[in-house]
Amino acid sequence: MRFPDAVTVLRPSGADAYGNPGSGAHSPAGTFAGFLSGEAVYGPPDADVQRGDRLAIGADVYDVEGDPRRLRSPSKTVMTRVSVRLRRR
């Protein structure tokens, strides 16, 4: 399966100004090859994406909605599906 988009995972690092853990500034945590389709990003089964991450694809940044899921396609290819929402600027 071809994954044409470079996806950068942005993960919260530390606490915010109020001391809430996991809600500080987002820093790059890795990249993977994937593709955006509607409100979902698909990637390889070993894509390191977690709830609360953001995904950067090109000039756009998306919030991860819920937990990533592992899917098996009809061709038995396993991939990761992440529901996303475009982040407003």
Q: Which two tokens stand for residue 54?
A: 């953001």
If one counts every other C-beta atom within 10 angstroms of the C-beta of residue 63, the result is 16
Range with top average pLDDT, 22-26, 64-68, 70-74: 64-68
- Per-residue pLDDT averaged across 45-62, rounded? 92
Q: What is the mean pLDDT of the chain?
A: 87
Model pLDDT for residues 2-32, shown as the tens digit of each residue: 789 999 999 987 776 777 766 667 889 999 9
According to CATH, what is the number of the domain 5-86? 2.40.10.270
Q: What is the pLDDT of residue 24?
A: 63
Q: What is the DSSP secondary-structure string of 7-62?
A: EEEEEE-SB-TT--BT-S-EEEEEEEEEEEETTEEEE-TT----TT-EEEETTEEE
